[in-house]
Amino acid sequence: MLGLALLVGWFALWTHSFIGFQFATLRTWIPVWTYLGLDLMHCVFAVRAMFKGDDPYVVDVGDFRGAFTAPPIVLPLFSWTWFFSAYYATMVWAGVIAATMTWSVELCRRIRAGLGLWVPTMPLATALVLWSMPVLFAMERGNLDVWVLITLYLALPLLRRGGWRAETFAGLILSVGAWAKIYPGLLIFALLPFGRWRTSIVLAVAIVLIGIVPIDATRGFFTNANKIEGANRVAPLRQAMEWLREPTFEPARRLPRIEWYGHSLITNWPVIFGKTPLGSVPGFLGAAALLGPLLLYVSFEVYRSRRRDVLMLPYLLWVVGIGTFGLPFSYDYNLIFFPLVVMCLWSARDKLWLHLMMLTVLVWWQPFAFGTDPRNFLYSKFLAIIPISILLVLRARELEPRGFEPMMDPATRAAAPVNAAAATQT
């Protein structure tokens, strides 16, 4: 009943929002724009310019950002918007986001069943995800991150099937999501613990080809994107190279403006360590030093797990979620992956100390703002990486860690015995 009541409230919220074409709610963490679909509109206008014969990377497409600032692959992905008005395109894309997240919940429930965890009802689980701040934010902006989920779900059955044909197609599909949002390029390495090296190679080659074939558009994308304030993708790497030539350890001289609705570890490095000797270390190097070992450790734990195939989806979601912290700018709609990881793995049987650590997740999972310093809200997102990573490690260790074994096909996996500890968990 609770799940159904929450879903009724969610539908009422979005009905009211689309009537006024602005996100209508109480005080939330979401920086509400003056109209719905801010990010989608940029794509809609660019598609219209493209079909009119203009180069969207050169001409002003019609909104405040001027020329198009998204990767070239985005244009064909949103070419369907040519057949809709901006208003109805926004409604359709919001529906796609909601439907994708709903399917994600069903996949999470299946994984929980495979891990021997309590499985919540579909209405309750769906309501908890749809009411999460990242999902509401993604729908309010009409953001593109859901393409990462769509391509991942299309590739997942192929990855589980195995074989060079299936793995090749999986790599090609994943390359679309990788170019749509850049950070999913980490999947090149994330597939290796599952022995999917052919997919990794195809993914890497396809990423290069997708960038080279429309080379002029790719150049236009990077040129335009780097003109956006705070969005320069090259500056952090350049700063890191300069620091390596003349390293210094001292407090930061200037702190960036705090954007509570973002979670870039690169940009916010001085906010976290500004008054310490690490304050002057470039955020690119700092993020790599913190997130790199974490990625390697968790990946090793998953690799050791005998039935790592059960953990494939939550692990890949975790990797792309970690990747969003390594962008020079990253807003909280990018966090849609972490609630899904939690939905897959969190259990009542976990220790009290872990439940207490999960409070850092709940702070930003729920959408309503409360009287806390925006700096603390920002910190909660960084700290949430720790308990979510621990959940993945704990579930991996419960699945009888052994040496590397090929992933089992569904028939073999269904017949394979599950260790007693995992089978009797509730």
Q: Is the pLDDT of residue 147 over 80?
A: yes
Identify the burial level of 403 via C-beta atoms within 10 angstroms of its C-beta, where 0-12 means exposed, 13-18 middle and 19 or more buried.
exposed
Lowest mean pLDDT among 24-33, 43-52, 272-281, 374-383: 272-281
Instruction: Reduce the DSSP state of residue 262 to 3 states and report it.
Output: strand
- Mean local confidence (pLDDT), 151-170: 93
With both helix axes pointing from N to C terminus, report the angle between 197-212 and 215-225 in degrees, rounded to the nearest 10. Answer: 90
Amino acid at 238: R
The residues that bridge with 279 in the sheet, in sequence order, are none
Per-residue pLDDT band for 249 (boundaries 50, 70, 90) equals: low
Query: Contact, 119 vs 3, CB < 8 A?
Result: no
The highest-confidence range among 244-248, 362-366, 396-400, by mean pLDDT, is 362-366
- Residue 109 CA from chain centroid, whole number: 19
What's the length of the chain? 426
Three-state SS sequence of 309-370: HHHHHHHHHHHHHHHHHCCCCCEHHHHHHHHHHHHHHCCCCCCHHHHHHCHHHHHHHCCECC
User: Domain extents for the chain?
Assistant: 34-218+285-405
Q: How far is CA 329 from CA 241, 291, 332, 344, in A?
A: 19, 16, 10, 27
Tokens representing residue 209 in the block: 């080809």
Q: What is the pLDDT of residues 44-74, one digit of tens each?
A: 999 999 999 999 999 998 888 889 989 999 9
Rounding to the nearest 10 degrees, give the CA dihedral for residues 34, 36, 37, 42: -40
Q: Is the pLDDT of residue 229 over 60?
A: no
Looking at the whole model, is its pTM more than 0.85? yes
Mean pLDDT of the chain: 86
Tokens representing residue 371 in the block: 């009287």
Query: Contact, 311 vs 212, CB < 8 A?
Result: no
Residue bearing the bigger pLDDT, 240 or 111 = 111
The secondary structure of 87-138 as a DSSP string is HHHHHHHHHHHHHHHHHHHHHHHHHHHHTT-----HHHHHHHHHTSHHHHHH
Query: In the Cβ-directed half-sphere of 361, how many Cα atoms lie within 13 Å?
Result: 26
- Residue 34 CA from chain centroid, whole number: 25
What's the confidence (pLDDT) of residue 125?
96
Instruction: Mark 336-353 as b/e (b = at least 16 C-beta within 10 Å).
Output: bbbbbbbbbbbbeebeee
Q: What is the pLDDT of residues 162-221, one digit of tens each?
A: 889 999 999 999 999 999 888 888 999 999 999 999 999 999 999 999 999 889 998 988
Query: Which residue in 121, 81, 126, 120 sits closest to 105, CA to CA?
Result: 126
